Amino acid sequence: MTIRTQLTLSYIGIVLLVLFAMGLFLSSALRGVLSDRITDELEVQAALTREFLLVELPETDRFSHKLIDGLVDRLGETGKVRLTFIGKDGTVWGDTERDGVSLIEMNDHLSRPEVQKAIMHGYGMTERESATTQTEYRYFTLPIERDGESIGFCRVAMPMETINTALSNQRRMLLYATIAGSVLAIIFGILSTGAIVKPIRRLTQITQSIAAGETTSKVEVKSNNELGQLLKNFNLMTDRVQKQIDNISVENQRLESILNNMNEGVLLVNNASEMTYANPAAIDMLNLPAMYAGKALIEINRIPELQALLSESEQTSSVAFAEIRLANLQESESEVTIVPVAAKSGYVIVIHDVSHVRQLERIRADFVANVSHELRTPLTTIQGYAETLLSSESKKSKKRKDFIVKILNHSNRLSRLVSDLLELARLESGDVELKVAPCHFSTFYEQIMDVFEPVLEESELVLKWDIPDELPQVNVDRQLFMQVFVNLIDNAIKYTPDGGEIEISANIHPTNTESADELVVHIKDSGIGIPLESQSRVFERFYRVDTGRARKMGGTGLGLAIAKHILLRHNGRIWLESELGQGTVFYFALPVLPAD
Ligand code: ADP
């Protein structure tokens, strides 16, 4: 049902209700008024008739029907009432409704209730059906007396039909009023609701067009009432929405131009790993088809590492980063970062092609390797000559010997430096072919003690070795791992004051992923420790906490960098924990070999 029909029906309802109530009230009021008027009229008529009859009636007890009925009829002509003259014995001598024989035949009227009341109270009024005329009448009777002697009764009567006719007239009037009221209610309903319905209809049309994407439409505001205010607010709202949309589209254009012109590939995937967006760089890097949207990443691009990285980010709900070779990019290397989008609605994959950077790194590493090679030969020669000079008999002066010692020390240091640089360069370039074989770390003990026993004794350091034979094997290049141990233990000795303690232990660290468990080796010292700000940097080549001290100790600043690269080549990792003045623990971890 429309608002218009609802309102019109309510108006009609109100009109009908009011008219009905009014009808009820008027009926009862009119009935009362008419009844009073009839009574008044009957009273007046009766009094006049009595006076008339008193004058006109002959002074006798026996009247002539003819004479009296003639008198009564004459009197009755003037009014609309029925007049009856009843003798004191109840004989009806005259009646406006009866003549001749029928008048004579009228029976004794003394028993009529109105006559009885008149005898008792001086007047009598009743409402009843006339036995003579069979119609409903209201009777009013007054006794007529002359000189204190009753001569009869004059009775006036009026048919009740008069009231009923008046009432039915009033009902008819009410019916006309109801019809007219309803017609007016309909017209008024249509006119008044038009002012409400029209703007609402317009509002509905505009909201439909807004829902369809058209936001510039406005509603015309014609009044300042509540509806007008609503329409004004609606227009304000559409203005704001339009502005927001404009801002968003400007922002979108900006973002789109950034994304389109980026060298990095940007890919959006939803929670079901289906691609929802890829910028041109990503399309190019991953060789995506034009209809990539909605397709699963793995379906289009079978790069297991990428899928694994996505799973990692999904599982940890955090940023995942890895360097991945994307086959589509002619064997190029890429840094891939996967970031979960807020509210876990998907992931942003950023692919950064680092082939060029890696190429530069390779060039640099090659350069260092070459330089080292070039340096090594003359240095070895210097070293040889100096050693010969030192051991020869011709020691002319102490000073000469001192020089030679210095030459030797420096050349030794240079040699170590160059060896380390060379080693590092070879590890980085991947030129070193790993001679991996399963081995127990517990078997390194003797070899290590051979190297360090004299130094340990000299500095009164205790080395505790706690790598049990039962620990699983690891697949390593034994020689390279010997170097890892040597570099780490050498540092522990160098940076632990005399009398300290070095503890080497190992345990198994279960990983929560499906990959193999890790064997973790701990090299703990009670030395000087490494300040927090240096802890993340000590694996950089040539980084030293205290350069002067480190040099004095004979270090090259490359020991930890070499250890790190050896571990990286073995798919392992290395890290440390340290407290200044308390000591340092270096950890390195490697995947263990399955028991069989
Ligand atoms: P270096 O040849 O100078 O020892 P490394 O790469 O082996 O070079 O170590 C880098 C720096 O890390 C050292 O110069 C030293 O400052 C710090 N360092 C390494 N191991 C320890 C340790 N066990 N305790 C304290 N500091 C250490």
CA of 503 to the centre of ligand 1 (A): 17
In a domain, 185, yes or no: no
The pLDDT value given to residue 464: 96
Reading the block at residue 588, the tokens are 């390195």
Reading the block at residue 226, the tokens are 């509540």
Per the rule left: phi > 0, alpha: psi between -120 and 50, beta: everything else, 317 is: left
Q: Which amino acid, one-letter code, is at 428? A: E
Question: Do both 451 and 498 map to the same domain?
Answer: yes
Among 487, 525, 538, residue to substitute to test ligand 1 (most atoms within 8 Å of Cβ): 538
pLDDT in tens, 424-433: 888 888 877 8
CA of 487 to the centre of ligand 1 (A): 9
In a domain, 374, yes or no: yes
C-alpha gyration radius of the chain? 63
In a domain, 175, yes or no: no
The pLDDT value given to residue 371: 64
Among 491, 544, 545, residue to substitute to test ligand 1 (most atoms within 8 Å of Cβ): 491
Residue partners of 62: CB distance under 8 A and separation at least 6: none
Q: Is 528 in the pocket of ligand 1 (CB under 6 A)?
A: yes
In a domain, 298, yes or no: yes
Question: Do both 132 and 248 map to the same domain?
Answer: no
The pLDDT value given to residue 125: 93
Closest CA to 34 of 159, 178, 125, 156: 159
Closest CA to 301 of 323, 329, 261: 329
Judged by DSSP in three states, 32 sits in: helix
Count structural domains, the chain. Answer: 5
- CATH number, residue 341: 3.30.450.20
Cα(14)–Cα(114) distance, integer angstroms: 47
Question: Do both 390 and 314 map to the same domain?
Answer: no
- H or E element: which one contains 237? helix 226-261
How far does Cα 478 stand from its chain's mean position? 60
Residue partners of 505: CB distance under 8 A and separation at least 6: 464, 466, 467, 521, 522, 524
Among 401, 429, 457, the domain-final residue is 429
CA of 538 to the centre of ligand 1 (A): 7
User: Contact, 469 vs 505, CB < 8 A?
Assistant: no
Among 353, 372, 388, the domain-final residue is 353
Q: Is 550 in the pocket of ligand 1 (CB under 6 A)?
A: yes
Question: Do both 587 and 457 map to the same domain?
Answer: yes
CA of 382 to the centre of ligand 1 (A): 28
Cα(63)–Cα(90) distance, integer angstroms: 13
Reading the block at residue 14, the tokens are 């109100």
Reading the block at residue 278, the tokens are 């890829």
- CATH number, residue 545: 3.30.565.10
Question: Do both 456 and 538 map to the same domain?
Answer: yes
Q: In this structure, which residue's CA is closest to atom 3 in ligand 1?
A: 557
Cα(42)–Cα(46) distance, integer angstroms: 6
Cα(49)–Cα(143) distance, integer angstroms: 11
Q: In this structure, which residue's CA is closest to atom 18 in ligand 1?
A: 491
Question: Do both 441 and 560 map to the same domain?
Answer: yes
Q: Of all atoms in ligand 1, which is nearest to the CA of residue 529?
A: 25
Q: Is 544 in the pocket of ligand 1 (CB under 6 A)?
A: yes
Prediction pTM value: 0.46
The pLDDT value given to residue 395: 57
Beta bridge partners of 525: 502, 584
Q: Is 8 in the pocket of ligand 1 (CB under 6 A)?
A: no
Question: Do both 373 and 343 map to the same domain?
Answer: no
Q: What is the DSSP letter of 98?
A: B
User: Contact, 72 vs 57, CB < 8 A?
Assistant: no
The pLDDT value given to residue 576: 97
User: Contact, 565 vs 431, CB < 8 A?
Assistant: no
Supply the range of the domain harboring residue 225. 215-261
Report residues of the chain scoring pLDDT below 70.
61, 78-79, 215, 327-331, 366-367, 370-371, 373-374, 377-378, 392-397, 399, 513-514, 595-596
Question: Do both 232 and 266 map to the same domain?
Answer: no
Closest CA to 591 of 517, 508, 505: 517
Among 399, 429, 459, the domain-final residue is 429
Closest CA to 82 of 95, 64, 101: 95
In a domain, 207, yes or no: no
Q: In this structure, which residue's CA is closest to atom 23 in ligand 1?
A: 492
Q: Which amino acid, one-letter code, is at 409? A: N
The pLDDT value given to residue 345: 81
CA of 573 to the centre of ligand 1 (A): 17
